[in-house]
Amino acid sequence: MKLKKKSIKRIVFFVGYGIEKDGHRGVCGPEKRFLQTCQIIDSQSIFPIVIYPHYGRLIKDFEQLHQQKKIYLSGYTPKNRKDFFKIVYKTIKLFSPHAIHCQGPHLFDAIAVLLGKLFKIKIIITRPVNISQDHLSKIKKRILLAVDQLVIRHANHLIAISDTHKTQWTKELTAFSLQNNFNKIQVVYNGIHLNEFFVYSNRPAPCPVVFTISAQLTPVKGHKLLLEVAHKLYEAGCQFYLNILGDGPLKFELEKIADELNITTIVRFHGHLSKIVHVLEKTHVVVLPSLREGLSLALLEGMAMGCPLIASNVGASKELIDNGENGFLIRKNNSLDLFIAMKWFIDHPSSIQKMGKKSLLKVKKFDIYKMVDNYKNIYLLD
């Protein structure tokens, strides 16, 4: 591909991707966020160079942008981290970019810093989940925290996706005695295409109530807990349905659990959907009992469709939910809290529309165009 003229800022993007098992791979928030950024960013001022695996769930979308010459796609199938490092190295050497932007995971951030320093280019790190939230062994956490000190020292911009994450990062820097890096931290809120979502005027009455979870089928998203609570509600005689959107390594295990709990008549697995509006338009409540979270795009999408929420009080969920107003915050990994919250909506269906309107008011600030403009301003800084 012919290189863009020098006045255009060339930015290398690389990001983690959904976990795979038995042929089933989900989509993580950062890769979705990068794709949406590439789709709408002004290609006359920013030219994205995307490093993304051939087996990633969004590869066809990135390939389409490559064919349209909106991005350059460096597809790869790495055998190990060393192989991945070589691919990124060769891509940077070929394009001489102005900056490298990484959105994790943490070891990818370290690679971004090493190569950024080597080639003397600007380093931008977006941190969706802080290390303190990761469910890792103490030894792994210590190693990552040690590596993270290097990332913090050498990155030019540290992007927090919410005020909550900025606070967490500030605490981390203080613990490392790296307070002189506070000025690197900026908040760029996640955003969604608000105009792609709408309140469905013919949404079925909440009788029965339809709950929906949209997330990778991975342990940290809390699907097992949700199925267990769904079983308890079903046994208690509650009438409701549960949609499960997404794919990932737990697909077969979760389907087996639903079968063993005898709740397949009320639970539907939809798999990965590129567009989820047709499911959300028949949804009354969006639920996300995660063990960890960033600023959930799934919750934002539910809010944009006028749905109240149930979510674990982790990450930035408390910035999206005013408890009792547009949904309920629950303690993570707490089946009783989840049971009570879901049953409340089943018992109070007339409150769903009112609470959903409050979600609509709150979601307006999370516009993807605002997010992309904020990143663009960072990319254009000298």
Predicted confidence (pLDDT) at residue 20 exceeds the cutoff of 60: no
90 and 185 housed in the same domain: yes
Distances (CA, A) of 337 to 4, 48, 235: 54, 44, 17
Show the domain range for 60. Answer: 9-191+367-380
pLDDT band at 8 (very low <50, low <70, confident <90, very high): confident
The answer as to whether 2 is a domain residue is no
pLDDT band at 108 (very low <50, low <70, confident <90, very high): confident
Q: Quick: pLDDT tens for 150-199.
A: 899 999 999 999 999 999 889 888 988 889 999 999 999 999 999 888 77
- Quick one: pLDDT band at residue 21, thresholds 50, 70, 90? low
Average pLDDT, integer, range 327-333: 97
The stretch 272-284 carries a mean pLDDT of: 92
Percent of the chain whose predicted confidence (pLDDT) is above 90: 69
Number of domains in the chain: 2
Q: Label residue 343 by pLDDT band (50, 70, 90).
A: very high
Burial of 87 (0-12, 13-18, 19+ CB in 10 A): middle
pLDDT value of residue 10: 94
Question: Between 136 and 74, whose confidence is greater?
Answer: 74
Average of per-residue pLDDT across 267-274: 93
Using only C-alpha atoms, what is the Rg of the chain? 21
Q: How confident is the model at residue 284 (pLDDT cuts 50, 70, 90)?
A: very high
pLDDT of residue 290: 96
Q: Is the pLDDT of residue 89 over 80?
A: yes
Answer yes or no: do 214 and 117 share one domain: no
Residue 230 resides in a domain = yes
Least confident of 27-31, 90-94, 230-234, 355-359: 27-31
Q: Is 206 helix (H, G, I), strand (E, B) or coil?
A: coil
201 has a pLDDT exceeding 80: no
- Measured between alpha carbons, how far is 284 from 353 in angstroms, rounded to an integer? 8
Q: Quick one: 161 and 73 in the same domain?
A: yes
Check residue 240 and report its DSSP letter: E
**pLDDT over 70 at 6, yes or no:** no
Name the residue among 111, 63, 109, 108 with its Cα closest to residue 89. 111
Instruction: Give per-residue burial for 27-62: e unless 16+ CB within 10 Å, then b.
Output: bbbbbbbbbbbbbebebeebbbbbbbbeebbbeebb
Question: How do beta strands 20-21 and 24-25 pair?
Answer: antiparallel
In this structure, the answer to whether residues 349 and 325 fall within a common structural domain is yes
User: DSSP string spanning 265-321?
Assistant: TTEEEEE--S--HHHHTT-SEEEE--SS-SS-HHHHHHHHTT--EEEES-TTHHHH-
| 309: in domain | yes
Look up residue 134 and give its amino acid.
Answer: D
Question: What confidence score (pLDDT) does residue 76 get?
Answer: 82
Do 252 and 358 sit in the same domain of this protein?
A: yes
Q: Which of 280, 322, 340 is nearest to 305 (CA)?
A: 280
Residue 212 clears pLDDT 90, i.e. is over it:
yes
pLDDT band at 71 (very low <50, low <70, confident <90, very high): very high
Q: Is residue 3 part of a domain?
A: no
CATH code of the domain covering residue 212:
3.40.50.2000
**Short-list 35, 90, 92, CA closest to 64:** 35
What count of other Cβ atoms lies within 10 Å of the Cβ of residue 139?
Answer: 8
Give Cβ neighbours of residue 27 (< 8 Å, ≥ 6 apart): 18, 57, 58, 216, 246, 247, 272
In a domain, 273, yes or no: yes
* Domain shared by 200 and 68, yes or no: no
Q: Is residue 256 part of a domain?
A: yes
- Within a domain: residue 300? yes
Does residue 172 share a domain with residue 289?
Answer: no
The C-alpha angle with vertex 187 and arms to 171 and 164, in degrees rounded to 5, equals 45
CA dihedral 217, 159, 121, 28 (to 10 degrees): 10
Mean per-residue pLDDT, 374-379: 94
Considering the domain architecture, whether residues 29 and 110 belong to the same structural domain is answered as: yes
Average pLDDT, the chain: 90
Q: Give residue 4's pLDDT.
A: 47
Residue at 323 is within a domain? yes
Residue 207: predicted pLDDT: 85
User: Closest by alpha carbon to 11, among 126, 106, 127?
Assistant: 126
Question: Helix, strand, or coil here: 1?
Answer: coil
pLDDT of residue 129: 75
Answer yes or no: do 222 and 130 share one domain: no
* Cα 173 from chain centre: 23
What angle (nearest 5°) sits at the alpha carbon of residue 37, between those of residues 31 and 41? 160
Instruction: Read off the pLDDT band of 91 (50, 70, 90).
Output: very high
Q: Is the pLDDT of residue 3 over 70?
A: no
User: 115 and 145: one domain?
Assistant: yes
Residues 357 and 375 in one domain: no
The answer to whether residues 282 and 305 touch, using CB atoms and an 8 Å cutoff, is no
Distance in angstroms (rounded) separating the CA atoms of residues 152 and 128: 15
359 pLDDT more than 80: yes
- Examine the domain organization and report whether 161 and 108 are in the same domain: yes
